[in-house]
Amino acid sequence: TKAMMNGTHTDKQTKTKEFSEEENVEILKLFTEVQNMQQQAVSLKEKLKSRMRVYKRQNRFLMRLKEVIEMKRNLLNQKRKKKSRILLSLQDKIREDTNGLVLAMPTRHTDDLKNFALSIYKYSPQAYIYIRNTLRTLLPSTDVLESWISGGFEPKNILSNSNLIKVVSELTDTELSCKVSLS
């Protein structure tokens, strides 16, 4: 039995050695494969780090672009609002102009208007300017009146020597008030 045991035992040892050599080869293959996978993992980890840096850089760039776009959009909106306010203001001004404000257009003035304007102007240039600006009449500018006077036009004595016009003015530190009454 000892021999048998020895024989079986040696057979077992041989089989174990053979088996362990096969296992060793298999283990070596597996070890090599694990090393290759570890190298791939390290390489992939480096690639991932690199790609993440690129991604973060691009993401920051996109965020800055979005901020710039938003800022420019806000500027455009502000400019549009400003232009709208200006346009509305101009429309209001045009509406006022058509309701009596003197437009900068040449007009032919009648002799009656010339006489009236020059009479007021000769009596009081400040009163004339006040009437023209405040009442928004179609009276000509003072430059036009000066050209009429230098051209020799003399107003008829409609207002100048009579009490038809009465001008009362008050000057304070902050304001000049002028009352013109026609009788």
pLDDT in tens, 92-126: 776 666 555 454 545 677 777 788 888 888 878 88
Say yes or no to pLDDT of 57 above 90: yes
Q: What is the pLDDT of residue 111?
A: 78
pLDDT in tens, 30-39: 999 999 999 9
pLDDT in tens, 135-168: 666 777 888 888 888 888 777 655 444 555 666 7
Q: What is the pLDDT of residue 132?
A: 81
102 burial via Cβ count (<10 Å: 0-12, 13-18, 19+) = middle
Say yes or no to pLDDT of 1 above 60: no
pTM of the model: 0.35
Domain boundaries, the chain: 1-99, 111-182
171 burial via Cβ count (<10 Å: 0-12, 13-18, 19+) = exposed
